[in-house]
């Protein structure tokens, strides 16, 4: 038996070769684009690149200039306001709608189709529609004034102080359907017996939601939160379409700052520094979540 020709352990590299060949696009994307590209941008954010990237390192110059720029400060403030309000409103509205949808209602499919269709539309379309509806000459403001309330003023897109709320209305219209869908899936995932037990115990419905169901849905809420949050950081097309950053610089956002400096102002270094700041923002959101979601599981 041992005299037989030994087929030895084959070469490591050649085992599973088809699988490795098939995974080349994934490996290239992961290493060259995601890892390499990100590293490259972060490294070049410390240079004074203008029209073309040049490896002329100037330390934190670009970041100092960035945080001195009024436009960047406005962008960050807008992102903070837009982000915080989007989180709160889309979670509250999304959950209320999901809870209503979960009452064994009739026409559930019709309602879901209505609540979700804006999500199929692009931010460009969303921005343009709401630009039209909020147009003070013809839109909501003029309609209300025509009804007799002539002093009524609602012109967010032309008022620097409240323009970001105009963007918020459009953003919520586009995105709450998704939140509702995710939370509804979460509600449906809860054991029917929980509801039966609460009913037998005579607990009112709102208390059941508040003290039993919502705490049970923690993981769903966290996932939804992360999804909303990572979408907020990327917000760009909506602003471009709805306000072009105006009036003035009142509705600028970081993603637009990056694009404008990279491709319009020919100041790559600023663009790289601003995009690195976006990366840091995302990391602040993602790292604690990833730690809770995956780090915790390993300890068990």
Partner 1 sequence: MSDSVALKSAPAAASKAEPWGAKPRRALSGRNIMLYGTLIVAALYYLLPLYVMIVTSLKGMPEIRLGNIFSPPLEITFEPWAKAWASACTGLNCDGLSRGFWNSVRITVPSTLISILVASVNGYALANWKFRGADIFFTILIVGAFIPYQVMIYPIVIVLREMGIYGTLTGLVIVHTIFGMPILTLLFRNYFSALPEELFKAARIDGAGFWQIYLRIMLPMSLPIFVVAMILQITGIWNDFLFGVVFTRPEVYPMTVQLNNIVNSVQGVKEYNVNMAATLLTGAVPLIVYFVSGRLFVRGIAAGAVKG
Partner 2 sequence: MQKSVSIKDLSLSFGAVNVLENLNLDIGDGEFLVLLGSSGCGKSTLLNCIAGLLEPTGGQIFIKNKNVTWEEPKDRGIGMVFQSYALYPQMTVEKNLSFGLQVAKMPRPEIDKRIARAAEILQIGPLLKRKPSELSGGQRQRVAIGRALVRDVDVFLFDEPLSNLDAKLRSELRVEIKRLHQSLRNTMIYVTHDQIEALTLADRIAIMKSGVIQQLADPNTIYNAPRNMFVAGFIGSPSMNFLRGEIAGRDGHPVFVTNGVEFALDGYGASEALQPGRKVVLGVRPEHVAVNAEGAETHQATVDIEEPMGADNLLWLKHAGHTLSVRVGGARRFAPGTAVKLSFDMGLASLFDAGTEERI
Q: What is the DSSP string of 81-114?
A: HHHHHHHHHHHHHHHHHHHHHTTT-TTHHHHHHH
Q: Is 225 in the site for partner 1 (CB under 8 A)?
A: no
Tokens of 96: 């209320």
Binding at 288: pick from partner 1, partner 2, none (beta carbon under 5-8 Å per type): none
Please count the other Cβ atoms lying within 10 Å of the Cβ belonging to residue 48: 17
Q: How many residues form the binding site for partner 1 (CB under 8 A)? A: 91
Q: Is 1 in the site for partner 2 (CB under 8 A)?
A: yes
Chain-centre distance of CA 138, in angstroms?
Answer: 31
CB of 2 to partner 2, least distance (A): 8
Binding at 60: pick from partner 2, partner 1, none (beta carbon under 5-8 Å per type): none
Longest C-alpha distance within the chain, in Å?
Answer: 104
Distance CA 137, CA 155 (A): 9
By CB under 8 A, what part of segment 56-95 binds partner 1?
Answer: none
Q: Is 7 in the site for partner 2 (CB under 8 A)?
A: yes
Binding at 7: pick from partner 2, partner 1, none (beta carbon under 5-8 Å per type): partner 2
Give the range of 57-65, 73-81, 177-185, 196-204 binding partner 1 by CB under 8 A.
177-185
CB 252 within 8 A of CB 71: yes
Distance CA 70, CA 183 (A): 39
Give the range of 1-9, 77-85, 122-130, 240-248 binding partner 2 by CB under 8 A.
1-9
Of the candidates 197, 184, 205, 183, the one whose C-alpha atom is nearest the C-alpha of residue 102 is 184
Give the range of 35-43, 67-75, 189-197, 209-217 binding partner 1 by CB under 8 A.
35-43
The answer to whether the Cα torsion of 262, 263, 264, 266 is positive or negative is positive
Distances from the Cα of 232 to the Cαs of 79, 126, 129, in angstroms? 8, 15, 20
Binding at 185: pick from partner 1, partner 2, none (beta carbon under 5-8 Å per type): partner 1
Q: How many residues form the binding site for partner 2 (CB under 8 A)? A: 8
CB of 6 to partner 2, least distance (A): 6
Binding at 4: pick from partner 2, partner 1, none (beta carbon under 5-8 Å per type): partner 2
**Binding positions for partner 2, rule: CB under 8 A:** 1, 4-10
């Amino acid at each position: 038996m041992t005299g037989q020709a030994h087929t030895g352990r084959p070469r490591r590299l050649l085992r599973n070769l088809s699988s490795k060949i098939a995974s080349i696009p994934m490996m290239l994307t992961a290493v060259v684009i995601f890892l390499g590209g990100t590293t490259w941008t972060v490294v070049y954010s410390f240079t004074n690149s203008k029209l073309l990237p040049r490896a002329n390192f100037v330390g934190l110059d670009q970041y100092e200039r960035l945080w001195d720029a009024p436009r960047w400060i406005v962008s960050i403030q807008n992102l903070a306001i837009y982000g915080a309000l989007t989180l709160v409103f889309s979670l509250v509205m999304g959950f209320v709608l999901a809870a209503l949808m979960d009452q064994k209602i009739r026409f559930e499919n019709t309602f879901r189709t209505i609540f979700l269709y804006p999500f199929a539309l692009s931010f460009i379309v969303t921005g343009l529609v709401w630009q039209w509806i909020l147009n003070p000459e013809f839109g909501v403001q003029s309609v209300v004034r025509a009804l007799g309330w002539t002093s009524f003023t609602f012109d967010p897109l032309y008022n620097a102080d409240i323009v970001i709320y105009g963007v918020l209305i459009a953003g919520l219209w586009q995105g709450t359907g998704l939140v509702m869908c995710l939370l509804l899936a979460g509600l449906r995932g809860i054991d029917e017996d929980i509801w039966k037990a609460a009913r037998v115990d005579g607990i009112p419905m709102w208390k059941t939601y508040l003290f039993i169901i919502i705490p049970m849905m923690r993981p769903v809420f966290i996932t939804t939160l992360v999804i909303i949050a990572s979408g907020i950081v990327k917000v760009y097309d909506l602003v471009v379409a709805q306000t072009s950053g105006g009036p003035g610089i009142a509705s600028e956002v970081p993603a637009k700052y990056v694009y404008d400096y990279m491709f319009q102002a020919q100041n790559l270094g600023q663009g790289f520094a601003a995009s690195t700041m976006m990366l840091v923002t995302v990391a602040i959101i993602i790292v604690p979540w990833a730690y809770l979601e995956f780090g915790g599981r390993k300890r068990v």
